[in-house]
Chains A and B, each alone.
Chain A
Amino acid sequence: MKSTEVDFFKTIEIAEVLNGVPHGVAILDRELRIVEMNSFLELLTGFTTADAKGVYADFILRTNIDNHGKQFCELLETGEFLSVAGDIITQRHKKIPIHFTVSPLNDESGQAVGLFMFLEDISLLQSFDKKRHSLEGVKDILGHSPKMLEMFELMPVLAHTDASVLITGETGTGKDMIAEAIHKASKRSRHPFIKVNCGALPEALLESELFGHARGAFTGAVKDKPGLFRLAHDGTIFLTEIGDLPLTLQVKLLSVLDDKEFFPVGGEKKVKVNVRIIAATHRSLRELVKRGEFREDLFYRLNVLRLHLPALREREGDIRLLLDYFLREFSGNLNKSIQGYSKNAIDILTAYHYPGNVRELRNIAEYAANIRVRILMSRKENLLQAVAVGVRLKKR
């Protein structure tokens, strides 16, 4: 170091530098006593640097991360750094979640002379994360009928376990949305959510899609394919229309559920995966089991947690809510000013039994938003046209 540089550094007060850091900073000696604290940490802990100097750091910081100083002593010995989340308790009796980064401070000879502690207040981050986890998944699912409220209550419970979930319900009730919402609210939310329609592909192709294949396993297999199970590692795989899964693949799926490992098609090495399975079907698996079309053991394996989605006709009051929501959404997308439904249209629409459930209702609303012509139709005409009658246009 040049002499001018040395002079420069001599003029800088270390405390002033630390005070410029917008997070808590502490410097500890080899005995793990406080040598220096910045003003941010003073505010955080409620102790002044003058009072804290010379006191064992754990008594000032009151963290939950250091087990009687053992961990910090190890850092001094090994020269490694520690990055861990924990909390502190302040003098104002608040428990604040903190991300701690602790690294050794070395002298010119490389000898550790103390520790540098960086304390980042992550309470805001955690509250956002909690909100995101709790709301993101369900924000798109509408309903205030008792059956839906029951389901909303059950969803966090399903999200916080790792057990398999079987979602049942008629077509168009929103099984896919619920599965994704459970994934998003779970601890696996940062990992992939992969949806597979078991009824969409022929058996041979489905096996290769799900479990992957080795190069040369069959004609056209020119390279290794990881398969959707491997892609969903640490995340969730959503098997929709599980009732359509061929019997041979049911055996393989059962072994994956039991052992969490499988052989890719034509592969010699077992692949281990950590995947949560959510399955859905609009068919009665119990009936399929009776008819011998679905394996009983797989049924019980999947049926750990069961969620039955109510049909739209069973959701009192939700039809009106959804009609308004979808009409507003589509009219917004189309940049049209639509006031709403006429009384006549509402009467027809709320009395309708919706065999296609929310999907059908959504299509009706989309049709209504698109067709703006007021034409008188009788009730005998098909429902979609009747809706078009009911949509009143705002006069510009």
Chain B
Amino acid sequence: MKVLITIRQHNVAPRFDATSEVLIALCEKKQVVGKPRTILMNRPSSEELCALIIKEDINIVICGGIEDSHLQYLVWKKIKVIDSVIGPYNEALRASNNGFLYSGTILPGAKQEGMTT
């Protein structure tokens, strides 16, 4: 299963349309297989990001705020979208693998000291 997380530094990026970096991880049996790779976008763009998600054959997208049109597009493409997630992306990936990540989740790491931009 391929998981894509929109990221900003160590966190899930707050906005899908403003994402300039994504992390792609291959997950099997609740574990990350191999080393996740990061991709830098040419520029923040929802359309380009959607195209990348389709091209990479992603199964799950973990992101922050996303507009309805893009969400519906991804859902239509049979991609599971867990949106409005706040917190460090590694925590989000772990929670997703364990089946505990839902849309709107504020992860514990979001309130830790030093967890800013």
Contacts and interface: CB of A to CB of B under 8 A. Distances in A.
A62 B106 contact: no
A68 interface: yes
A93 B111 contact: no
Contact of B68 (A31, A60, A64, A93): A93
Q: Which of A58, A88, A92 has the most CB of B within 10 A?
A: A58
Contacts of A46: 84, 104
B67 A93 contact: yes
28 contacts: A32-B116, A33-B116, A46-B104, A47-B104, A51-B106, A52-B106, A54-B110, A54-B111, A55-B86, A55-B106, A55-B110, A55-B111, A58-B14, A59-B110, A64-B18, A68-B117, A69-B116, A69-B117, A88-B65, A89-B15, A89-B66, A89-B67, A90-B65, A91-B65, A91-B84, A92-B68, A93-B68, A93-B71
A46 B103 CA distance: 12
A94 interface: yes
Contacts of B8: 68
B1 interface: no
A129 B117 CA distance: 35
A292 to B, nearest CB: 52
Interface string B60-77: 000011111001000000
A95 interface: yes
A56 interface: yes
Given A89-B67, A93-B68, A95-B67, A59 B104 contact: no
Interface in A6-53: 31-33, 46-47, 51-53
A76 B115 CA distance: 19
A47 B66 CA distance: 15
Contacts of B15: 62, 64, 89
Given A55-B110, A92-B68, A94-B67, 15 more contacts: A46-B104, A53-B111, A59-B64, A60-B86, A62-B15, A62-B64, A69-B116, A88-B65, A89-B15, A91-B65, A91-B104, A93-B65, A93-B67, A93-B83, A95-B67
Contacts of B64: 59, 62, 89
B86 A59 contact: yes
Interface string A353-365: 0000000000000
- Indicate the size class of the contact surface on chain A: 20 to 34
A52 B71 CA distance: 23
Nearest to A89: B65
A88 B15 CA distance: 9
Interface in B91-117: 103-104, 106, 110-111, 115-117
A49 to B, nearest CB: 12
A52 B106 CA distance: 8
Contacts of B83: 93
A94 B116 contact: no
A95 B69 CA distance: 10
Contacts of B71: 93
Contacts of B11: 59
A62 B64 CA distance: 8
B74 to A, nearest CB: 11
Q: Which of B8, B11, B16, B106 has the most CB of A within 10 A?
A: B106
Interface string A69-102: 1000000000000000000111111110000000
A95 B70 CA distance: 12
A91 B17 CA distance: 14
Nearest to B16: A89
A32 B18 CA distance: 19
B110 A56 contact: yes
